[in-house]
Amino acid sequence: MKFTFAHNNLNVLDLEKSLDFYKKALGLVEVRRKEAPDGSFILVFLGDGVTSHSLELTWLKNWERPYDLGDNEFHLAFVTDDFEAAYALHAEMGCICYENTEMGIYFIEDPDGYWLEILPKR
């Protein structure tokens, strides 16, 4: 028996704001969408155009308060082929929330408070 990654899910309050953020900050684009017939939810799957792994953004119609992220010790990680340009973009966007210069990494925060680790290609 073998398992492979399919996707990760993040719930978001403002779907359009999140789609804009993920496209600008990480170059992720919509690859699939599912909308509930009754309008109660929308699922949007984002891809990087390279791997088959996707990020599912879930919007719930009746959810009105920020999601409780606990201690926010979970995160997704992204490797970039141009770390300096990525850092400059994220600094300009004002979304860098934590830097670990000793490890050569940093984290950005999405509109809902999720942390995303940025790694240089090694």
Active site members: 117
Both structure tokens of 35: 């909308």
Bridge partners, 113 (sequence order): none
Partners of 121 in the beta sheet? none
CA distance 48 to 52: 8
Query: Which helix (H) or strand (E) element contains residue 116?
Result: strand 115-120
Helices (H), the chain: 15-26, 83-93
Q: Which of 18, 44, 27 is nearest to 109 (CA)?
A: 18
